[in-house]
């Protein structure tokens, strides 16, 4: 069975308030790991809850597997959902928690046993089946919540910030687990997060939202290297892309008359001595180093320039410099935006060779 999810011109308004989502058009491919990413309040959970059928859209059409979902109840949509605050039944054991939904669906005992064995192995819970949730760590409880969803063999997994209550190490472990799980199950995952690192590391397809609209969608690679607008360029990447107001800067190589902003990623700049010769054509800005932070394999410089603060990442720690420098970015690493903060592109993407 296919489980492609299609949202056509979806609108959602709560009560009489102005819509929080308008004209949302989105296709979630069967078998993809799609991440809905964006700042707080942008409409990620609302979108997910409409897919689940927990929230009714106020306009547009939502289809799963080609079927209009308007009259289809949450329980009949072939989906399972894992929330941030997964509520386990405290008086039941891990096994009973996992089994509960199956009993409700009248799955026969022998098959229940078989499925519980299978999912508890998949999430590494075989040894904990007889424990109560109170005797588990946060990560183990999260796995029970996942197992409980998995055991129903859904075509589609919906997850709303399921890792946000966990510490950094466990989050990173479960990120890897989820990627593996996605490979193993081959089902469609739709995952909500406001954490771009989480999105970039797990997603096969990222949908970046802002104020109820999609700003850009695509592979992690595309969305990082080829942003469509200033919002995307600055939401993705740590630190974000440097974006400077071009009006202030004399940059003779700018290929667009209508360009208003110039941008470059922190790792694509080099630092030169104040008096050094410029190696090739590009953007050169003088500045003063404010701080340098050793981050392991790279050093992050914060540099004050006439045009604002710029961040530069250098991967060769032997070159640590201080004082007054020239920041240089070669032409092919520069991107341009118009006054509406939309990306300007040359026909052949001449400057953007990635």
Q: Across-strand partners of 270? A: 328
Q: Does 46 bind Mg ion (CB under 5 A)?
A: no
Residues 157/187, Cβ–Cβ less than 8 Å = yes
Residues 189-248 binding ligand ATP (CB under 6 A) are 194
- DSSP label at 266? G
Minimal distance, residue 46 CB to ligand ATP, in Å: 3
Question: Binding string, 276-295, against ligand ATP, x = CB under 6 A?
Answer: --------------------
Minimal distance, residue 226 CB to ligand ATP, in Å: 24
Nearer to ligand ATP, 102 or 207 (CB): 207
Minimal distance, residue 213 CB to Mg ion, in Å: 16
Minimal distance, residue 25 CB to ligand ATP, in Å: 17
Question: Binding string, 6-35, against ligand ATP, x = CB under 6 A?
Answer: --------x-----x---------------
Q: Report how many helices (DSSP H) and strands (DSSP E) the chain contains, helices first.
A: 8, 19
Q: Across-strand partners of 262? A: 244, 336
Residues 45-84 binding ligand ATP (CB under 6 A) are 45-46
Size of the site for ligand ATP (CB under 6 A): 11
Residues 6 or more apart whose CB falls under 8 angstroms from that of 63 comprise 5, 6, 8, 69
Interface stretch with ligand ATP, choices 37-45, 134-142, 258-266, 338-346 (CB under 6 A): 37-45
Tokens of 219: 């592979």
Residues 221/204, Cβ–Cβ less than 8 Å = no
Q: Does 120 bind Mg ion (CB under 5 A)?
A: no
Nearer to Mg ion, 85 or 130 (CB): 85
**Tokens 């199950």 sit on residue:** 185
Residues 122/184, Cβ–Cβ less than 8 Å = yes
Nearer to ligand ATP, 133 or 203 (CB): 203
The DSSP secondary structure of 286-341, one letter per residue, reads EEEEEEEEE-SS-EEEEEEETTEEEEEEES-GGG---SEEEEEEEGGG-EEE-TTS
Q: Does 45 bind Mg ion (CB under 5 A)?
A: yes
Residues forming the site for ligand ATP (CB under 6 A): 14, 20, 38, 40-46, 194
Residues forming the site for Mg ion (CB under 5 A): 45
């Amino acid at each position: 069975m296919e489980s492609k999810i299609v949202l056509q011109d979806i609108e959602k308004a709560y009560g009489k308030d102005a819509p929080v989502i308008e004209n949302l058009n989105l296709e979630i491919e069967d078998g993809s790991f799609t991440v809905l990413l964006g700042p707080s309040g942008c409409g990620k959970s609302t979108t997910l809850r409409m897919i689940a059928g927990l929230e009714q859209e106020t306009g547009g059409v939502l289809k799963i597997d080609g079927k209009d979902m308007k009259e289809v109840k949450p329980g009949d949509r072939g989906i399972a959902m894992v929330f941030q605050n997964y509520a386990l039944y405290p008086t039941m054991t891990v096994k009973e928690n996992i089994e509960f939904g199956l009993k409700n669906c009248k799955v026969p005992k022998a098959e229940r046993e078989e499925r519980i064995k299978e999912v508890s192995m998949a999430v590494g819970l075989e040894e904990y089946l007889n424990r109560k949730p109170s005797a588990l760590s946060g990560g183990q409880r999260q796995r029970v919540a996942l197992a409980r969803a998995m055991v129903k063999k859904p075509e589609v997994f919906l997850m709303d910030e399921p890792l946000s209550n966990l510490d950094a190490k466990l989050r990173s472990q479960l990120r890897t687990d989820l990627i593996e799980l996605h490979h193993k199950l081959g089902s469609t995952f739709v995952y909500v997060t406001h954490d771009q690192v989480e999105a970039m590391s797990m997603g096969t397809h990222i949908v970046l939202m802002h104020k109820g609209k999609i700003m850009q969608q695509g592979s992690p690679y595309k969305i990082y290297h080829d942003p469509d607008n200033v919002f995307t360029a600055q939401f993705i990447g740590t630190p974000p892309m440097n974006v400077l107001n071009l009006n202030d800067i004399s940059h003779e190589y700018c290929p667009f008359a209508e360009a208003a902003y110039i941008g470059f990623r922190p790792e694509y700049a080099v630092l030169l001595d104040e008096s050094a010769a410029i190696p090739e054509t590009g953007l050169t800005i003088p500045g003063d180093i404010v701080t340098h932070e050793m981050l392991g394999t790279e050093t992050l410089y914060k540099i004050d320039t006439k045009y604002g603060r710029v961040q530069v990442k250098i991967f060769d720690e032997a070159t640590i410099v201080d004082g007054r420098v020239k920041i240089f970015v070669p032409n092919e690493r520069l991107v341009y935006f118009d006054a509406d903060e939309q990306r300007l592109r040359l026909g052949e993407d001449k400057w953007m060779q990635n």
